[in-house]
Structure 1
Amino acid sequence: MEGTTETETQLGPPYAKSLHPVYAVGNIQHKVRVLDGTKVSYSSWVKLFKLHLRGYKVLHHVDGTAPPPKTDAAYVTWQEIDSHVLQWIYGSISDDLCLRILEPDTTAYEAWLKLKKLFYSNKGSRAATLEHEFNNLKLEYMPSLDAYCHRLKELADQMSDVDCPVTQQRLVLQLVRGLPPEYDAVASFINQQIPSFEMARSMLQLE
């Protein structure tokens, strides 16, 4: 092409630089479920959110990696991308949580730490409350078997958020423990085999 060097032909014009993957995201809620601390636990949200961050090459905005110096030419671009990540955080948490961590002139990492602090504060009392409900939940208190299984799993996830993890075996045993007498036959089989939680749930649904 006349007037174009071989290097320009290979690399394209300066304005043809590809955009950062972060700009490809429209509505974050299409990617990550909204964190409310009940239906969606903090630990589950973090796993999904980090997977999303890794896929769009912005995990370093929440893992403590230092930004470039403000005097660096790359800082403006970093700040713009960080604002997008911050919007993702605000856009994927409940209104109540958003109001509690919303601050002017903050970074994605600072908001990430504030959110973490909310869920890890008062761990002892929260763990005790969750433990009590987990240990005393029974199918007869719930509207359906699915609701019972779902709530039990929710409680286990929330206990993990306060450093009180529930093993798969304990989850299955508690599932059986809360069943009424009419499930005795399948409950006995589950107690002997200790299958995965989802397998035990399927066995109960068939019953």
Structure 2
Amino acid sequence: MADGKDSSSLPNDDYANPFFLHPSDNPGAFIVSQPLNGENYNSWSRAILMALGGKNKIGFVDGTIPKPKETAKSFHSWQRNNNIIASWLLNSISKDLQASVIYSSSAAAIWSDLRICFQQQNGPRVFQLRHDLMTLKQGSLSITHYFTKVKALWEELTEYIPPHTCDCGAIKSWIDYHQSEYVMLFLMGLNKGYSQFQ
């Protein structure tokens, strides 16, 4: 916790306590607008993490708030939160995918099963994203709508890039190159009236 307190020592009505449940936090809630359909894992998982982060519940899916012993004071609060979050996850995936995780033992197990199943180096999806970026043209789209489409494809493609760490400062040149590629793709698809290079 940011203030160094153990979450079990905080009152259950404290917003900083991950065990806190607002009256609107019910099992029937839909916390993301687009359900996971098997093709949109990266954007779906990002939306889920944002929603859970806003509710201070990420620890229940990433395993940092583990299940306590049944004799622990926090067990019933953990169980209640786990069930609510598991319901939110189930509500946020398509009906045909629910059967694969309905019997998972916890929200963290559901999250892990979905990550293992869908967050793979997906060659066909990377190919499709690259193809869509290369062939996307502004056409009759407004510049704002065109920019939004390019940005969504680019950001999803970026999710497939393997993580990299570097302490030497060389990563800056790679990031600059990556950003210039993004700008070039955007410019290549603009209508002729917007680009002096076409």
Instruction: Return the TM-score normalized by structure 1.
Output: 0.63
C-alpha distance in structure 2 between counterparts of 1:53 and 1:33, whole Å? 14
- Equivalence for 1:104: 103
Question: Which whole-Å deviations, capped at 9, do the CAs of 1:91-135 have from their partners, x for residues lacking one?
Answer: 233444x43643225310111112222332352332122112212
Q: Which amino acid aligns with 1:148?
A: Y
Q: TM-score scaled to structure 2, two decimals?
A: 0.65
Please tell me the residue identity of whatever aligns with 2:188.
Answer: R
Q: Which residue of 2 aligns with 1:82?
A: 82
- The change in CA–CA distance for 1:133 and 1:105 in structure 2 (over 3 A counts) is closer
Structure 1 unaligned residues grouped into runs of 5+: 1-15, 189-207
More deviation in 44-53 or 149-158? 44-53
Shift of 1:174: 0.7
Cα separation, 2, equivalents of 1:168 and 1:28: 38
Q: Does 1:144 align with 2:155?
A: no
SS of the residue corresponding to residue 81 of structure 1 reads helix
> Residue type of the partner of 1:182?
G
Q: Are residues 17 and 138 of structure 1, via their aligned partners in 2, closer, same or farther at CA, if it must alter by over 3 Å?
A: closer
- Hey, what does 1:156 align to over in structure 2? 154
Where structure 2 has 5 or more consecutive residues not aligned to the other structure, the ranges are 1-10, 164-174
Q: CA deviation at 1:60?
A: 1.4
Residues 1-207 of structure 1 correspond to what in structure 2 (within 5 A)? 18=13, 20-24=19-23, 25-26=25-26, 28-29=29-30, 31-36=31-36, 41-65=40-64, 66-96=66-96, 98-99=97-98, 101-140=100-139, 143-145=140-142, 146-163=144-161, 167-185=178-196
Matched residue count: 167
Q: Is the 8 A contact 1:127 1:162 kept in 2?
A: yes
- Contact 2:129–2:157 at 8 Å: present in 1 too? yes
SS of the equivalent of 1:106 reads coil
Distance 1:22 1:35 in 2: 23
**How far 1:51 moved relative to its partner?**
3.5
Change beyond 3 A, Cα 1:147–1:57: closer
User: What displacement does 1:36 show?
Assistant: 4.1
For residues 136 and 162 of structure 2, the distance between their equivalents in structure 1, rounded to whole angstroms, comes to 17
The alpha-carbon distance between structure 1 residues 164 and 177, as it changes in their structure 2 partners (threshold 3 A), is: farther
Greater share of helix: 1
CA contact (8 A) 1:43 1:161 kept: yes
- 2:195 partner amino acid: D
Q: Percent identity?
A: 23
Distance verdict in 2 for CA 1:162–1:36, change over 3 Å:
same
Q: Say which one has the larger Rg.
A: 1
Structure 2 distance, partners of 1:37, 1:153, is: 21
3-state SS of paired residue (2:21): helix
Shift of 1:71: 4.2
Give 1:84 deviation, angstroms. Answer: 0.4
Distance 2:162 2:99 in 1: 24
Equivalent-residue separation in structure 2 for 1:164 and 1:180 (angstroms): 33
Deviation of the 1:83 alpha carbon:
0.6
Greater CA deviation, 65-74 or 104-113?
65-74
Letter in 2 for 1:171: Y
Structure 2 distance, partners of 1:157, 1:35, is 19
